[in-house]
Each structure stands twice: as C-alpha cells, then as structure tokens.
Structure 1
Amino acid sequence: MDLDPDLAPDAGAEAGAGLDPALAALRPLGGFFVLRTAAGAPVAPAEPPPTLAEVYDGTAPGADGDPLAFRIGKVAAALRAPEPRTAASVAHLGLAARLWSTALGCAALYGRIPDLDPRLLRWDAGAGAPDDLWLTEVRPLPADAATLAGTVLGGHLEPLAAALRDRHRLARGLLWGNAASALAGAARELDRWARAGGRTDTAARARALTAELLADPRLRGTGTLTGTAFRRRSCCLYYRVPGAGVCGDCCFTRPPTG
C-alpha cells in the first residue's frame, strides 16, 4: 500500500524538518497509529476527557474520577475476564500499543515525533478499541531512540505500570513484557506496511529504532527479537480469558493448566 501523495510527508519531513499539525501521514496506517489532534478534529468535545497525566496520578475529574478503573471494567466485561488483573493487563497492552504505534510511526515517517507529554494527551476511557487519544498540541521532538524511550517509557509506561501494580498486583516482568510486545507489534505492522509500499527506508528506520529501544534497561531481557518476530519471556494472562489461546509472541506454546 502506498501513501496517498496528499498525505505523504515530503523529503524535508523525512529528513526531520517537522510534523504537520494533523499528523496526516499516519492516516493510511489506520488503527493504532492514527492520533487525533486539534488540527485534525478542530471542534473540541463539550466535556473533554481527562489527560493521561490526570489518569496516572488519580486526579481525573468526573463523577468517579477513576477512568483507569472504568477502562479495566470495560475490558473485563468485553472479554468476560475471570479476574480483574487479566483485564488490567490487556488494557495496559492496548494503551501501550497505541502509544508506541504513534511514536514509532512518526519517527519512521517524519523523522520527528510529537511531544506525547501526558498533560497534552487526552484519553477517552469509554471508547472502543483501539484506545481513543487526542493530542491537544503538536510539538515536534527528535526521533532518536533516547527521546522515544523518554517519551513513551518514562512519560507513560512507568507511571501507568506503577498505578496498575498498586491496584492489581501485576508483576513488573509482565508489564515490561507487555511494553516490549506492544513495541514489537507496532514495529512489525509498520515494517509490513512500509515494505508493501516499497518504502524500504521507512522499514529500516523502524527496525533500527525498535532494536535500540529493546536494549533499554527497562525492556532488556523481556524477549528475543529475530527480524521482526518477537518472543517474549512473560505472559500477558490473555490465556485466562474463556475460550482464548496464547498470543503469537507468548512464552507459552499452549495455555497453562492448573
């Protein structure tokens, strides 16, 4: 699939000249990659959802002020999860995948990433999948691995993991395994899309950044990357959902028993 010429970043953008305000180059990738911005959706909702900063620190406004618990309950109901910690892990994996997809997609396509500061990202916990995120201001940042790690791992996945560990006793290894799995999944989809469109430069950037990010101390040892295939050393607990099997990158080859 080729990028629509009207949406493709120009050569200057690929070299790191900047981001367009609507992040339009992400649109052909769809799903987990697309990020709503003020330029792409200029009419703000009457009651904007909370920022992820408010979600992480427990200060989100509203009737219950706990969109994270609401999201986990929504996932649990949709999956018929037998225990909250399974739904919490799946919810964590979904949000991690959204954050990595947007950041890695921009890095590979633009040579810049948007500042995804949790205070700039609003999250609708009641929306369907993939998670609905709205970036209130597009501020370009460098697209090197260190900036990506600081933005996604430090800015989001560390405080999110802390909140989930406190509430649901999820193991650190499971949560960092989820983070690595989400990154590898985003990279694999971006690589597939780029190669199908003959964009070997985009695919190469995505693969190189992913390898560097998986060497970060927080992700190192979470699994093995072979080409674009990833095998994690932990399990996200999805196998506990009634009728579910194991994920494609799971450490198990079949659902555990007992």
Structure 2
Amino acid sequence: MDLDPDLAALRPLGGFFVLRTTGGAEGAPAGSLPTLAETYGAVRSDVYGDSIIFRVDTVAHRLRTPELRVSASITQQGLAARLWSAALGCAALYGRVPDLNPAALRWDAGAAAPDDLWLTEVRPLPGYADALAATVLEGHLEPLGVALRARYGIAAGLLRGNAGSALAGAARELDRWARANGRTDVAHRARALTAELFAHPLLRTTGTLTGTAFRRRSCCLYYRVPGGGICGDCCFARAPHSSPRASSG
C-alpha cells in the first residue's frame, strides 16, 4: 500500500503513532517551529531559543524534578518513542517508511506528551529494518544523544537503553492493536522488523527481547522523579536508594 499524504493508516493506533503532515488536511505548522536538524545542531530559534534546553526544562517543570539529567533522559525517550512508533507503524501497515530526515521534521518543543511532530514532505522509502535503523537510530537518536551528553553528561548506554525501550514499547502497542483488529499480517511484520532492529550494533546490547516483552540493561532514571517508580522493563526489581548525584546506565 502506498503512503498517503495524511498517513491516515496511523490514526487508529493512537497519539504516539500519528504523524502530522504539511500536505495533509490539518495544514502546516507555524513557520517558527524548529526542525529536528536545527535542534540537534543546537541552532537557536527566535521563538524557543535552544529547543533542547527548552524541552528539557519544560519536562523538568512538569515532572517536578530538579535533576536536569533525569528530565533529559525522559525527553529523549519520549522523542524516541514518537519516532519509532511512526516509522515502525508505517513499515508494518504500508510496507514503506516516510523519509524522516531531521531537516523535514518540525518539532514543537513546548507541546504536551506525546511530542508534536510535523513532516513537511511524505517521501517513501523501503520499509526494511535497515531503512528504519538509518532513519531513526542513525538519523535522529545518535545526534540527539550527542547533544544531550554534551549538555547534561548523561551516559550513552542509558540513552541507547531508552532507544531500545522505546522501540519495544512501540512494537508491543502495534502488536496489541494488530491482533485486536484481526491484522495478524501487521503483527508478524512488526515483530520481524523489531527482532531485526534489535540485532543492530546500537541496540543489541540494550536488553533482552522475548516476543514483545523487553528487559533492558539500564535504567531511564524515572524512579528519581518525585512520586515515580520503576518502569515495566527496568533492569531494577525495585527502585534503588541513592544520593541525588548517583547515576545509572
């Protein structure tokens, strides 16, 4: 099935999968929104200033955490979940992936979760695992990780663990939807693509994938958020007790 201008097949899957497009019925976003290429390159925006710093500060305020390293981790995982969901959803439903070049994606750094993304052009690419890896891992999450490590000193292993966790979560939701709606073909494609992606050098050491279940080898630090706890795929059986400067990952 060819990609349509609205990527309408993603809508029934929920907010993390939906990708707004400037060629679709909803129209274009404000021209002041930065692209993700600008974000990763720390290009300053007249509206948001440095959008990574703005987003991390915004997430910290919403989570009521004074630790910017924690909100940086949650920020990265949220964006990873959006990118994996849109890419994997398209690959499983359409058999194609839209070109998610960072220069073609506009990002509203002030939006509530899930992250608000606009794609300026729907250009189809093959829906293979290597295309997804090149698009999401190499095109987005690696440059984002470089920016976050430079600003917040967050561990590379933690960020890659977040990437693995976000991929597994997207695959699990897609599998659940596909089976509930009699689309076993979509479920099978999603599982096969996910297994191939976890063989990628940047993901294969992040955790253990068993079917749609995932157990990561690092922690996203959510337990350090006031009132937070451990996630379902966490490496910890219970939240550790540590000083505010302790790290994991």
Instruction: Please report how far the alpha carbon of residue 63 of structure 1 lies from its aligned counterpart in structure 2 after TM superposition.
Output: 4.8
Report the equivalent of 1:191. 175
Query: Is the alpha carbon distance of 1:65 and 1:41 closer, same or farther for their aligned partners in structure 2, counting shifts above 3 Å?
Result: farther
For 1:36 and 1:46, locate their aligned partners in 2 and report how far apart those are by CA, in whole Å. Answer: 13
2:38 to 54, 60, 85: 54
Q: Secondary structure at the match of 1:216?
A: coil
Q: How does 1:152-167 map to 2 (within 5 A)?
A: 152-167=136-151
Q: Secondary structure at the match of 1:100?
A: helix
Report the equivalent of 1:143. 127
Instruction: Please report how far the alpha carbon of residue 19 of structure 1 lies from its aligned counterpart in structure 2 after TM superposition.
Output: 0.5
- What percentage of aligned pairs have identical amino acids? 71
Report the equivalent of 1:6. none
CA contact (8 A) 1:113 1:140 kept: yes
CA contact (8 A) 1:58 1:65 kept: no
Report the equivalent of 2:236. 252
Q: Secondary structure at the match of 1:119?
A: helix
Q: Secondary structure at the match of 2:110?
A: coil
Give the partner amino acid of 2:232: G
Query: Is the alpha carbon distance of 1:244 and 1:121 closer, same or farther for their aligned partners in structure 2, counting shifts above 3 Å?
Result: same
For 2:131 and 2:8, locate their aligned partners in 1 and report how far apart those are by CA, in whole Å. Answer: 22
Q: Secondary structure at the match of 2:185?
A: helix
For 1:153 and 1:226, locate their aligned partners in 2 and report how far apart those are by CA, in whole Å. Answer: 21
Report the equivalent of 1:174. 158
CA contact (8 A) 2:22 2:29 kept: no
Does residue 75 in structure 1 map to residue 53 in structure 2?
Answer: no
For 2:47 and 2:180, locate their aligned partners in 1 and report how far apart those are by CA, in whole Å. Answer: 47
TM-score by length of 1: 0.92
Give the partner amino acid of 1:118: P
Give the partner amino acid of 1:211: A
Q: Secondary structure at the match of 2:103?
A: coil
Query: Is the alpha carbon distance of 1:233 and 1:23 closer, same or farther for their aligned partners in structure 2, counting shifts above 3 Å?
Result: same
CA contact (8 A) 2:21 2:27 kept: no
Instruction: Please report how far the alpha carbon of residue 243 of structure 1 lies from its aligned counterpart in structure 2 after TM superposition.
Output: 1.2
For 1:71 and 1:249, locate their aligned partners in 2 and report how far apart those are by CA, in whole Å. Answer: 25
For 1:35 and 1:68, locate their aligned partners in 2 and report how far apart those are by CA, in whole Å. Answer: 20
2:11 to 23, 27, 31: 27
Give the partner amino acid of 1:188: R
User: What do the CA deviations read for 1:16-35 (whole angstroms, capped 9, x no partner)?
Assistant: xx201110000001110000
Structure 2 gap ranges (5+) = 243-249
Query: Is the alpha carbon distance of 1:63 and 1:40 closer, same or farther for their aligned partners in structure 2, counting shifts above 3 Å?
Result: closer
Report the equivalent of 1:234. 218
TM-score by length of 2: 0.95
Does residue 127 in structure 1 map to residue 107 in structure 2?
Answer: no
Structure 1 gap ranges (5+) = 1-12
Instruction: Please report how far the alpha carbon of residue 38 of structure 1 lies from its aligned counterpart in structure 2 after TM superposition.
Output: 1.5
Report the equivalent of 2:78. 94
CA contact (8 A) 2:19 2:86 kept: yes
